[in-house]
Amino acid sequence: MRAVIVAIGVAFLISLFCTPIAIKVFARLKAGQPIRSNLGLASNEGKKGTPTMGGVVFILATVIAYVAGHLALTTLPDAQIAQVEPTITALVLLGLMVFSGAVGFIDDFLKVRKRHSGGLNKRGKLAGQILVGAVFGAVAVYFPSSMTDAGGNATNTETVASTTLSFIRDIPALEIGKIGSVIVIIMVVMAATNGVNLTDGLDGLATGASVMVLAAYALIAFWQYRHWCADPNYTEAYCYTVRDPLEIALIAGAAAGACVGFLWWNTSPARIFMGDTGALGLGGLIAGMAMSTRTILLLPILGGLFVIITMSVVIQIISFRTTGKRVFRMSPLQHHFELAGWSEVNIVVRFWIIAGIGVAIALGLFYSEFLAAVS
């Protein structure tokens, strides 16, 4: 627990104090977010030129905090030092965050350079998401752990991702194989990155929602660590068959702390935007969390707000292409309520409440399954 707390604190402080530096640097580089002024959105007023690409700050803060958390692990008693060395799990999770963020950075860079909201075209962004998901999905599926006990016996040979679909745990009846697992990971990465990206439309909305989801994954992973099948003190009846749960908790906590520090400057009126750099980076990490904690089918509940906003776009597109009519005044959904007269702050707070409800339901299902398994 000490390592997780250290990671959270370090990430928060770095993000809190380095974001103002990033604001000044991006302002001098004239890296302002292009704003379309013909949409009739009240939230767009006065935002032109606000620095973007702020996701760089909390991505770097998460990576640095991960290193700090590992330094804290070296102070633990020998019996608890199972994950002091960096693991494949960390490589996959941080890799998904950094390289998904890199795809978003290219998009943001092109927007700033062209002074246009177009950025990277849809095919380019899609190709980048597929490539990142495929590379790290393959690593997650094909590299098992080699953890051994004092006698040299294997105690954990799990891979980061499972070859079965999962809800609270793996579902043995839903075996999909290694190739199928990589395909599912690609789909989850695409869904999560686009979901967070579509949610990032109002000051602090995506950042606050991501904090809740990442904090929930930190709790889930730490609970799995405390009831881990690699620990001989727990029986197979209720322990969790995952790889490196402490790593997962450490990274999830670090990312949540970094986002809280960034939210100080990103809340209304935002002095900096996370941009696609941050949105895609967070989406990639959240996808990795679902994969590594074996809770892929729980993610739509845990990230309920992202699902609702994504579905509003899908419904809008299908309705307009089939009937020529729009269901919403504008999509994503948050802009519909803007045009309905809601203030930006009201929309953000109420959507945060929805995000919190989804997280609470998901955590309730997770814990109730554990109680059922124990009983």
Is residue 285 predicted with pLDDT exceeding 90?
Answer: yes
Q: What is the DSSP letter of 34?
A: P
pLDDT of residue 373: 83
pLDDT band of 78, cuts 50, 70, 90: very low
pLDDT band of 76, cuts 50, 70, 90: low
Is residue 249 predicted with pLDDT exceeding 80?
Answer: yes
8 A C-beta contact, residue 178 and residue 170: no
The predicted-structure confidence for 12-46, as pLDDT tens digits, reads as follows 999 999 999 999 999 898 887 776 655 657 666 66
Q: Quick one: CA dihedral 187, 189, 195, 201, positive or negative?
A: negative
8 A C-beta contact, residue 55 and residue 274: yes
Lowest mean pLDDT segment, chosen from 64-68, 146-150, 370-374: 146-150
Q: What is the DSSP letter of 31?
A: -
pLDDT of residue 4: 92
35 lies in which domain range?
A: 1-374
8 A C-beta contact, residue 253 and residue 245: no
Block residue for tokens 């973007």: 52
pLDDT band of 81, cuts 50, 70, 90: very low
Q: Cα(72)–Cα(59) distance, rounded to whole angstroms?
A: 20
Q: Provide mean pLDDT across the span 185-199.
A: 97
pLDDT band of 80, cuts 50, 70, 90: very low
8 A C-beta contact, residue 106 and residue 277: no
Q: How many helices (H) and strands (E) does the chain have?
A: 12, 4
Task: Give me the number of domains the chain comprises.
Answer: 1
pLDDT band of 235, cuts 50, 70, 90: low
Q: Provide mean pLDDT across the span 334-341.
A: 92
Which H or E run contains 155?
A: strand 154-156
pLDDT of residue 38: 53
Strand partners, 228: 240
Residue 131: count of CB within 10 angstroms of its CB: 13
pLDDT band of 312, cuts 50, 70, 90: very high
Amino acid at 175: E
Q: Provide mean pLDDT across the span 89-115.
A: 93
How many residues make up the chain in this entry?
375
**What are the φ/ψ torsions at residue 37 (nearest 5 degrees)?**
-95, 0
Is residue 332 predicted with pLDDT exceeding 80?
Answer: yes
Block residue for tokens 């697992």: 181
Is residue 82 predicted with pLDDT exceeding 90?
Answer: no
Report the half-sphere exposure of 357 (CA within 13 A, side-chain side). Answer: 10
Q: Bigger pLDDT: 312 or 36?
A: 312
Pick from 19-33, 104-118, 206-220 the range whose average pLDDT is largest.
206-220
